[in-house]
Amino acid sequence: MKVWFAATEATPFIKTGGLADVVGSLPLALAEEGAEVSVILPNYGQIKEQYKSEMEFLFDFIVPVGWRQQFGAVLRLKQDGVTFYFIDNEYYFKRDGVIYGHYDDAERFAYFSRAVLEMIQRVDAAEVPDVIHCHDWQTGVLPAFLRIHYQHLNRYQEIKTVFTIHNLQYQGVFPEEVLGDLLGLSHEHFTAEGLAHNGLVNYMKAGLVHANQITTVSPSYRDEIMDPYYGETLEPVLQHRAVDVRGILNGIDYRQFSPDTDEHLVENYDVKTVEAGKATNKEALQKELGLPVNPDVPLFGFVSRLVDQKGIDLLAHILPDLFELDAQFIILGSGEAEYEGLFQHASTIRPDKVASYIGFDVGLAQRIYAGSDAFLMPSRFEPCGLSQLISMKYGSLPVVRETGGLRDTVQPFNQFTLEGNGFSFSNYNAQEFLDAIQRTIETYHDKPVFKHLVETAMQEDFSWIRSADEYLALYRLIAPSAD
């Protein structure tokens, strides 16, 4: 089974969010299960020189972008049993700052998607993929290109596509002129059954319409986006293709996230030494961020973008109530200026209760997972979520809203059976969130029970192998002759 991943970010090369973690980890697990996996990425200027120096030039070629004929080159780097290809074009990808949000994103990612398909004409016949696995709106037009521009050619006739929705909120919407000017498609494709949506060309919709199979990053998110509340206006398209939409839960790379090997921690620990290990890391974290050193109060962590999707408005609403609780809170993240200012102010007026770090620091994030007793994720919606999986591995019990991947991974504590691995609330409501925090505090002071929950959470298995097996079964379903 030969699988190509087409994506616009992957660890360790370039990362803006959870997409990079998936594309950096899932192919490794698929390779361990016997698949031949390649990952194709843009060769961004931001990729570190240590990786660029290892890249091998393969060939250059011409990539059609509408009426344009653009230069491209393909570089290769092999790592951990996976081949990474990099599409090189300095005009599109050698830019300072962010990798998304440029004025010509419609063109940049149409070029990238077309370049992935043009590569197939240049590689050895034995390397032609059975399945191209596309990720999010940036590669949404690739399945459309394959079906409309290429599938009649010999090398492309047996290739199937899978399209994964990582976050339906971001869809890649552009003016109608993009259809012919950049995608090389006639007006017959600008319809409700094609790429048109609300009067615009929608790259996400292109993937939903033309891919052979569609996946989401958790089973619950798959069900939620069929409903208008979560469907971001695309729920009719998803409902039409419901039989082809599957929810496959993301995993976590325990080689990267594990308290027994994490170099950012003051003291490493595992489930057998968690009590002493977390106590040491908690004390160090309180000192690092200027909180009173007190082992007897529960410490809550929050590591996230400061945007409404992450439930930050709920946290802001109950902030005065948190001042009255016998607990401490650490907020790490950046985002909307209103929330950045609010939490900076909170840490100034109540330094005994709240510490905030505006920005992002990988080492500090890891120390928050290790030093906190509980971890807050009151998300409005959460396609899968990575932080709750990390926090459980580090023995920090997640406090989550029951949505998407949070619902699928966090089992709320049952005080009668003593089962569970965290705490949760169901409605997007500030009072319910506050109640869940108060339940966590009450349970924290029942030391034997809390220790049992911590040990249960740390022993959960959310490794990528389970997800890889589900994806392999899906690939075999659409390309049975390839295996």
Q: Enumerate the known binding-site residues for ADP-alpha-D-glucose.
A: 15
Give the whole-angstrom CA distance, residue 397 versus residue 113.
Answer: 41
* Strand-strand pairing, 56-65 and 68-79: antiparallel
d(CA 130, CA 113): 17
Structure tokens, 287 = 């000192």
Q: At CA 435, angle to CA 429 and CA 439, rounded to 5?
A: 145
Helices 430-444/447-458 angle, 10° precision: 110
Tokens found for residue 332: 């790490």
How far, in Å, CA of 116 to CA of 323, rounded?
A: 53
401: β partners: 425
Known binding site: residues? Answer: 15
Q: How far apart are CA 40 and CA 132, in angstroms?
A: 10
Structure tokens at 364: 């500090």
In the block, tokens 């149409």 appear at: 110
Measured over the CA atoms of residue 204, residue 205, residue 206 and residue 207, the dihedral's sign is positive
Rounded Cα–Cα distance for residues 332 and 361 (Å): 8
CA nearest neighbour of 5 among 25, 200, 391, 283 = 25
What Rg value do the Cα atoms of the chain yield, rounded?
Answer: 23
Q: What is the SS3 assignment for 458?
A: helix
DSSP secondary structure code for residue 86 in this structure = E
Length of the chain: 483
Parallel/antiparallel/unpaired status of strands 423-425 and 397-401: parallel
Contact present, 436 and 423 (Cβ < 8 Å)? yes
What values do phi and psi take at 286, rounded to 5? -60, -40
- Output DSSP code: residue 302: E
Q: Which pair of tokens denotes residue 261?
A: 């090997």
